Amino acid sequence: MARTQITAQTIALAGITPAVTVGQVDGHFFANPASNARYGTRFARVTNTGAVSRNITFQTGATVEGIAIEEITVAVPAGSVRLIGPFSPRTFNRPGDVADPATVYVDYDAAAPTELSIEIYEFPVS
């Protein structure tokens, strides 16, 4: 199975019904367009349904003076939810010369990826 895309859900005053995506071995990616917001407008809600803590990793696509910025790995305790972000396009987006440019790659704990689920949200930009 290949890495698949998650569509960001825009928060609305009327409310939305969340679309949940279950983790997979090959991971996911989501579009992360440049915005006027300094830190970006997208964030993740990650749920761990397992009995032990699991990790989720957000790859970084940026380098500073030729040195790659370290990926962000977040431990999600058993039975817990974590809100993670925002994802600055300047830091997290894959560069234009590789597959899936302007997206963020998400990797799940290899021991039990399906115990993690993710939702990507964004605030509307006006």
Residue 34 predicted with pLDDT over 90? no
pLDDT over 70 at 1, yes or no:
no
Asked if 88 and 94 count as a contact pair (C-beta separation under 8 A), the reply is no
- Which pLDDT score is estimated for 126? 67
* Number of domains composing the chain: 1
Please compute the mean of the pLDDT values over residues 18-33 and round it to a whole number: 96
Spatial separation of the C-alpha atoms in residues 94 and 59, rounded to whole Å: 8
The reported pLDDT for the residue numbered 99 is: 86
**Which pLDDT does position 88 carry in this prediction?**
92
Q: How far is CA 22 from CA 11, 39, 105, 108, 117, in A?
A: 20, 26, 15, 10, 4
Q: What does pLDDT average to over the chain?
A: 93
Determine how many CB atoms are found less than 10 A away from the CB of residue 29.
18
Q: Which percentage of the chain shows pLDDT scores above 90?
A: 81
34: domain CATH number is 2.60.290
Q: What is the extent of the structural domain holding 70? A: 4-12+19-122
